[in-house]
Structure 1
Amino acid sequence: MLVITIIVGIVALVFASLYFLLKKDLKALNKDILHRLDKESKATLTTQSSNREIVEFTGTINYLFLEKENTKLEYKKIDQELKENISNISHDFRTPLTAILGYCDLLLKSDLTEETKEYVYIINKKAKSLHHLIQDFYDFSRIMSTDYPINIDFVSICELLKEVIFEYYEDFTDKDSSIDINIPREEIKTISDIDALRRIFSNLISNMLRHGIGGYKIKLAKKEKDAYISFENKVVFMDQENVERIFERSYAMDLSRGSNKSGLGLSIVKELAHRLNHNLEFSLKDNIFKIEIILKITA
């Protein structure tokens, strides 16, 4: 009886030891997995365990990590190729369209009958819409690619904003709408890419014209070390869900179906602002939609 008790005790001790060793090995492996996931490390997992199943399990996890990394690299490669293809195709389309627009301008200035001029005007308008759409796709593909240049320099916010607003004077006139502009006389500078910032301002004004039904306001306010540029307009058929998702590429494009726009304007704004470390804020209150871009002021 004593012998049996001793044997049972030894067996229990062995199983207990194996259990604690297995638990220790699994705990160490779990810690390594979490560390790799948190740090996005590419290091191969190792184990000091003598348990064959633990060793095989570690090998399986390493295989899964390797497959994940390969899939990620393949996706990046395909995504980059797609962006480059879109950029190249857009560029190929822009060249003949530019020629068409040039000929339309010449025809509109020539001695044509009113009926013919009306037809040319329609062609010119549609060609411009197509040109803007292709330009959006071209710019978006370039901005999202790794080779998009960012040239940082001192930028006069007031002067740049005035220039961009002036470019849209005829658009506001065509809509028979007035715009409330509030820009200080003092010079306010920031560090940014002037072309990228110009595109941000331009796209935000285009968005006002496209979705707004009046109440257009553009304001530049200086608060401590920041410049707040707000673009405000009245809207209809816009709820909080629209506002929360308005910068999403797929959602914006879905909203644009059936129109002459790509729906990429605000997605481009978001990406450029991110590249330039400028902050964006937006709100919807009492059918007033406002987007605000915040720039750091430099002396």
Structure 2
Amino acid sequence: MKQTRSLFRRFLKVHFLFIFLPPIMLIFISAFFGVSNTHEKNVNTLNLFYVSVLLFGFIMVAFVILSWLFFLKLQKRLALLQEVMSSSAKNNSFPKPISVQADRMDEIDQLGSSFNWMIQQLEDSRKREYEEELLRQRLIANLSHDLRTPLTILRGHVTRLNKESISIEGQNSLTEINHTITRVGDLMDDLLFYTLLTSGKHPYQSTSTDIGRLVRASVAAWYPLFEEKEIQLEFDLPTEETFYWEADPKWMTRVLDNLFQNILRHAAEGKYTNIVVDVEKERIIVADRGPGMDNSSYEGGAGIGLSTSNYMLKKMKLKADITSNGNGTRVTIGRA
């Protein structure tokens, strides 16, 4: 950017003139009167002294006034720029461009012009990010929808083949194919839900939630599935005591569903699950005796369910502490 004028250079020029020009004029005037009155004996040196004192005082006052006006104007322009920056930080939004005088373009205007250019770059970047996010969400939604058709066709062929007389190895293969189709469908559902969740399609609605009651309802809904897998279910769910969290009941239910689903997917071989509602410490504990997260089977997928749970817990100002080893996994949900 070409600099046309310098603010501080103008400041130095003006002050140089006020400091050095009056004394130089005084010297010339004194010399002129001194030459024109060489023959006069009675020179009023006292008046000349008074003139010098007044001129010096005038220089000092003018210097102070000019300096004060200069820095006052400079402070106002910098305060305007600082106000725009601080207001955007307080409101958590992009700042608005500031006005710049193109015909002047001193150092402050150049700073404002650079600031406006930065804002424009940030807005363009945010616009591109928003468009890419919409494209990604649309792509995931379309893929989740389009892949259901071939999966449905595959399941239909598996059902038809089950009615045919085939060997035991063939039956086992068909069972594994059907199981894989179900797993892929569940992963697509998790991916679609996570995409909709992060895009605001499932808005967070905070309310005072009875956690003890909510956990009991979730355990009752999942109990038949645990029983079907022959998983021993132990739980400590107080009925007379409870605690409340400011949370979304639907989101909390979804978090528990993800935990219970992971137990059925990864830890069913442990044949044990323990669910505790700790009223005193206000936390939820879900533990199993599976192989652990590091040794889980291929059904672990990409961890979409865990990412979904962490996202919802963070929004509700909660957190999940996970401890996992070869003897099982323990998830503790509490306040962040």
Give the TM interval when normalised to the shorter protein: 0.5 to 0.7
Match of 1:267 in 2: 307
Distance 1:17 1:257 in 2: 75
The amino acid across from 2:78 in the alignment is L
CA contact 2:284–2:334 (8 Å) conserved in 1: yes
CA contact 1:150–1:193 (8 Å) conserved in 2: no
Q: Does 1:140 align with 2:220?
A: no
Match of 1:55 in 2: 109
Q: Does 1:230 align with 2:285?
A: yes
Match of 2:216 in 1: 158
Distance 1:73 1:169 in 2: 51
Deviation at 1:235, TM superposition (A): 7.6
2:277 maps to which of 210, 221, 224: 221
Matched residue of 2:184: which SS?
helix
Relative distance call for 1:152 and 1:21 in structure 2 (3 A) is closer
Where structure 1 has 5 or more consecutive residues not aligned to the other structure, the ranges are 243-254
1:96-131 deviations in whole A, cap 9, x for unaligned? 313433543454466543132122122222222322
Distance 1:140 1:290 in 2: 23
Relative distance call for 1:151 and 1:104 in structure 2 (3 A) is farther
1:273-293 deviations in whole A, cap 9, x for unaligned? 456x37333153997743234
1:145-224 counterparts in 2 under 5 A?
A: 145-148=199-202, 156-171=214-229, 173=230, 178-184=232-238, 192-194=248-250, 196-208=251-263, 214=270, 216-221=272-277, 223=279
Q: Does 1:290 align with 2:330?
A: yes
RCO (CA 8 Å, sep 6+): is it higher in 1 or 2?
1
Normalised by the length of structure 1, the TM-score is: 0.67
1:87 maps to which of 121, 141, 153: 141
The amino acid across from 2:308 in the alignment is I
Matched residue pairs, number? 273
Larger radius of gyration: 2
Q: Percent identity?
A: 19
Matched residue of 1:147: which SS?
coil
Relative distance call for 1:85 and 1:148 in structure 2 (3 A) is farther
Relative distance call for 1:228 and 1:16 in structure 2 (3 A) is closer
